[in-house]
Structure 1
Amino acid sequence: MDQIDIDLLKLLQSDSRMPISELSKHLALSRPSVSERVHRLQERGVIKEFSARVSPAAVGRDTTLFIQISELKITPLEFERLIKEETDVIECHRVTGQTSYFIKAAVSKIEGLALLVDRLIPYGKINTSVVLSSPVSYRHILPQDTK
């Protein structure tokens, strides 16, 4: 990955809807060259998808929380099948250590939190933390050797 690819990633992460023509101007490259670079980054799996970041609070999910699940009562495969169907879950990560899974969820009010916890309790030991603030809620990702 060269500096142009890195600059392209910066631009696309700040606005994934930026037209090829505008990317071309910013990068001082032809439109076909930019298109080829975007396509190559997609093929290599560097760019996974183009999507919109939605504010959970703006769509009625004003409570964000992290849930740790340990002491699973079912197999990880069964749990992962179940958690994929849980629409309040934004992220789920299987991890090492005493905790089996870290889950990020967004729910509507404290009632939504209670309902989600009630649905998860049968599968293991639950520990929840409600997000009070997010000084870093999202960060653009670039290769580590760049600034």
Structure 2
Amino acid sequence: MNRSRYVIRPIDAIDRAIISSLTDNGRITVRELAEQIGLSGPSITERIHKLEDAGAIQRYTIMIDPKVFGRGIAAHVQIRAMPGELKRVTQMLIETPQIVQADRVTGQDCLLAKLILNDVAELETVIDRFLPFSSADTAIVKSSIVAQRLPKL
């Protein structure tokens, strides 16, 4: 639903400040955000709605630490689907709950997936499901140097 009733305009410095603040603290109130940015509450609300309508803000979410839930292993897997199996492998990626992100990429390997798992045995079980239809090259994450973040806006 487009509440804005206008043609989408370029994102400006105020929009970037709003997005940055919401990224740092998604639970910030409109009042706090207005004080921080220097606009009125209704102006902030209207801008947030316009950003949502434009697709600049797609959803509100939380970030968790998978280790708290016993999922202490992260891995990246490069997958090369066998000829004629790309559609099947893609569907398998979608249906595998341990896969938290998957991208179609260029290069020899056509897919890149990130997995969050309990242990190496679970990783082996997941990878084994794909082997009849693809080859896989796995890298276990030892530590994260840069946590997931937004690109520079």
For normalisation by structure 1, the TM-score amounts to 0.91
| Counterpart for residue 66 of structure 2 | 56
Gaps of 5+ in 2: 1-10
Return the alpha-carbon distance in structure 1 between the equivalents of residues 95 and 126 of structure 2: 12
- RMSD of aligned residue pairs (Cα, Å): 1.3
Amino acid at match of 1:81: Q
Gaps of 5+ in 1: none
Map 1:34-113 → 2, pairs under 5 A: 34-113=44-123
Q: Deviations over 1:73-120 (max 9, x none)?
A: 544333222211100001000011101100000000111111111122
Structure 1 stretches of 4+ with a deviation exceeding 6 A read: none
Are the equivalent residues in 2 in contact too, given 1:92–1:104 (CA < 8 A)?
yes
Higher relative contact order (CA 8 A, sep 6+): 1
| Counterpart for residue 137 of structure 2 | 127
What SS does the aligned partner of 1:42 have? helix
Amino acid at match of 2:15: D
What SS does the aligned partner of 2:127 have? helix
Map 1:9-48 → 2, pairs under 5 A: 9-48=19-58
Amino acid at match of 1:37: R
For normalisation by structure 2, the TM-score amounts to 0.87
Give the % identical residues. Answer: 27
Are the equivalent residues in 2 in contact too, given 1:69–1:100 (CA < 8 A)?
yes
| Counterpart for residue 117 of structure 1 | 127
Are the equivalent residues in 2 in contact too, given 1:73–1:122 (CA < 8 A)?
no
Return the alpha-carbon distance in structure 2 between the equivalents of residues 99 and 20 of structure 1: 45
Deviates more, 1:109-118 or 1:93-102: 109-118
